[in-house]
Structures are given as C-alpha cells and as structure tokens.
Amino acid sequence: MNLLMCPVCKTNLVLEERTWRCENNHSYDVAKQGYVNLHVVQHKHSKNPGDTPESVQARRAFLSAGHYAPLQQAVVQKIRDLRIENLLDIGCGEGYYTDAMQQEVLQCVGVDIAKNAVQVAAKLNKNVTWVVGTGATLPVLDQSIDLCTSLFSPIPQEEILRVLKPEAYLLVVTPAPEHLYAMREALFEEVKAHEPNKFAEQLAGNFTLIDQEIVQSKMCLQQEDLKNLIAMTPYAYKAKPERRQALEQKNGFELTAHYQIYIFQKK
C-alpha cells in the first residue's frame, strides 16, 4: 500500500521507477541517496530548515556509540507489543530510532524537515521510505497510519489526527524530569526540571493515554562523546560559550539519561 501524499494537491502518490507521481502529474524524484523531497517551496520558511549538518553528524556519532540504546530497545519493545503493520516516524533525524523500529513493521515512513539529516538516514536502511517533509503537512494519506512516533520531536496534533486510522496510536518520547541534569547544571546557572506531563495534558482531548514508562540509564562519557552530546542538543547554542568550553574539557563525565515514553490511542 502506498502511504505517501502529494504535498501540493493532497492526492495519492505512486512510485514509478524512481519518481513519485500523483494523478495531477506532480512528480518528485527519488534522490540518489534513496530519499524523496516532499517539502515544497511554498511550505518553507527558511532555505535550510531543521538541524544543522554539524548537529546531525554529532547525533549520528553519539547515538551509534550506543549511549541511548536502552531507550531504543524500550521503544522497539513497545512497538512489538502493539502488533501494528505500519508507522510514521515524525522528526526521524538521522534515523537511529527509525532504523530499529522498521524491523517491527511491514511499512515504515521516516520524515524530517532537515534534508541533511534525511540524507544521512537514507544510507542506514533502504527498507524505510525516507522523506524530507514538514509536520505542518505530513506527507501521508488520511487515516492510513497505525502508529505515529515522535521522539524528542514536535507533535503536530491536527496532522497526526488526520493521518492516523481510527483508534490508532501515538508514541511520544520526551525528556523525563531529571534528563541530563548534571550536564544542564554545568551549562546553565538555573536549571528547571523537564515537565513531560504537559504533553499528556495537551493531547488529552483527542487521545487516551494507555501506557507510560520512564526509562533511565547512567552514562560515563569520554570527552569526544560529551562534545557530541552537547552539539546534538539545543543546549549547544543556548549555553554561554565559556560554560560550554569548560564542560567540553571534561573526561569521564557522569550523568543520567531519563526518558519518558507515552503511548496514546486516538479517541
């Protein structure tokens, strides 16, 4: 089943050799890296939206070293338990989680606004349909998706409601209260606990919370891994340069990753 939707006229896209085409003859070529760009110019607000190439490379290096593997494994188990056929990963980035989630379903679409991230992701797993696109207009058909996932990414609620089948699922991963607290203490004068429950409150009108779990893991990071972790987070540009530089000098830095996983069902 083709899941992709033309971002211009909202009709079904069909893959013909290496081109996605709709009935109105809008066409989108598959790039040599294996992704398709469905982020049309009229939906763009900047020339190169999303993560910078530096942030993408830092995330790829950090995640491929296995530091967030406990989260990846927990998410994969949740998907296995749901017994679904397809999923849409919103904000797939460079594909670390999408790659693992694809193994549990028949069809998997990964979408991200950052073309440089999708280019990296597309080299990872040829069984995922990799798409450059925006959450403001998710590039999949109405009521076609069994599970939307958003891991540390935006949650475009109206679009998620449009693309999910009746009584289908939304899996959200967001920082739990103490996530990377030691690192944030080193970078900022004032540190507030994360508030994951705000997402549950925002979604309560249209979704029923059916499962929640906190996953935590301790890490001891060497200097290069610590630099990559800082670079892949928003803290990289929010922290004062002197505080960031001081933290980047450390070796064997201990901190705890603290993740909140929610599973919601569409009402």
User: Do residues 257 and 62 lie in contact, with contact meaning Cβ atoms separated by under 8 Å?
Assistant: no
Instruction: Give the residue ranges of the annotated binding site.
Output: 6, 9, 22, 26, 68, 94-95, 179
pLDDT of residue 148: 98
pLDDT of residue 265: 98
pLDDT of residue 51: 80
Separation of CA 78 from chain center: 16
Amino acid at residue number 70: P
Give the pTM.
0.95
Instruction: Give the residue ranges of the annotated binding site for S-adenosyl-L-methionine.
Output: 68, 94-95, 179
Query: How much of the chain is helix, strand and coil, in % rounded to 5?
Result: 30, 30, 35
Mean pLDDT by 10 residues, the chain (267 residues): 94 96 97 95 56 92 97 98 98 98 98 96 97 95 98 96 98 97 96 93 97 97 96 89 95 96 98
CA distance 159 to 138: 6
User: Do residues 75 and 100 lie in contact, with contact meaning Cβ atoms separated by under 8 Å?
Assistant: yes
CA distance 11 to 265: 26
Domains of the chain with CATH codes = 34-182+189-218+256-266 (3.40.50.150)
* C-alpha angle 94-97-98 in degrees, rounded to nearest 5: 75
pLDDT of residue 236: 83
Instruction: Give the residue ranges of the annotated binding site for Zn(2+).
Output: 6, 9, 22, 26
Give me the count of residues in the chain: 267
pLDDT of residue 50: 67
Residues 6+ apart with CB under 8 A from 165: 143, 144, 145, 146, 266
Pairing type for strands 129-132 and 107-112 reads parallel
Helices (H), the chain: 53-64, 69-82, 96-102, 115-122, 157-163, 181-187, 197-203, 223-231, 235-238, 241-248
pLDDT of residue 1: 81
pLDDT of residue 42: 53
Q: Retrieve residue 76's tokens.
A: 């994969």
Backbone angles phi, psi at 130, to 5 degrees: -90, 130
User: Do residues 93 and 64 lie in contact, with contact meaning Cβ atoms separated by under 8 Å?
Assistant: no
Q: Retrieve residue 123's tokens.
A: 């080299």
Computed over its alpha carbons, how large is the radius of gyration of the chain?
Answer: 19
